Structure 1
Amino acid sequence: MPRTSARSQGMFPCEAEVARRLSQTPIEWAAKAKILERDGLPKVDPLMGGRPWPAVQAYFLRRYGLSTVEVMAPDGVENLDVL
């Protein structure tokens, strides 16, 4: 069984893993992601360094009429100093 990296698992997978999960090559996915982001695909979270996978799944379910749940984008950079 091939060994998988931590970046290919979890809630914020790397772009190569997102491409794999969506049956795309990394090059195909990079081009398509730019277009899909204009339609609401969650962007790469700058703090976590990846797209939130549950939100990506929810985006595609909504896109194909399989869910009515709206995915919300983060509302800005978090200020952890106020805690």
Structure 2
Amino acid sequence: MAAALRALPTVDPARATLERQGLFPCDAEIARRLSIGADKFRSIVGALEKNGFPPRDALIGRRYWPAVVAFWHRRYGLASLTSPSMIDGEENLDAL
């Protein structure tokens, strides 16, 4: 049993904390999720915000992760694949 415990990989506590940030990650975690460095993210975030990248939420103080993903989907033309193009009307279960 002791040998099995020694074989477990160690977890960097700082990285584990970043990965648990959920829907409102810090900018360093957003940069990590986007596979760019934190310094690079800081240098481009202003330009991104001018093009629709979500700003920090006034109440939470961080960016809403699903809005970040939606920004990139729109930027690369994938938004129409994830949302309906038109509302099809009200449900009528009596028609069945």
- TM-score bucket (shorter structure): 0.7 to 0.9
Stretch deviating more after TM superposition (1-10 or 23-32)? 1-10
User: What is the aligned length?
Assistant: 70
TM-score (norm. length: structure 1): 0.74
Residue 55 (structure 1) aligned to one of 67, 70, 77: 67
Q: CA deviation at 1:50?
A: 0.8
CA distance, structure 2, for counterparts of residue 13 and residue 53 of structure 1? 7
Could you say which structure has the larger radius of gyration? 2
RMSD (Å), alpha carbons: 2.1
TM-score calculated relative to the size of structure 2: 0.64
Per the alignment, residue 34 of structure 2 pairs with 22
Instruction: Specify which structure has the higher proportion of helix.
Output: 2
1:10 equivalent among 22, 37, 40: 22
Amino acid across the alignment from 1:17: E
More contact order relative to length (CA 8 Å, sep ≥ 6)? 1
Structure 1's unaligned 5+ residue stretches are 70-83
Quote the sequence identity (%). Answer: 43
Task: Please list every run of at least 4 consecutive aligned residues from structure 1 whose deviation after the TM superposition is greater than 4 angstroms.
Answer: none
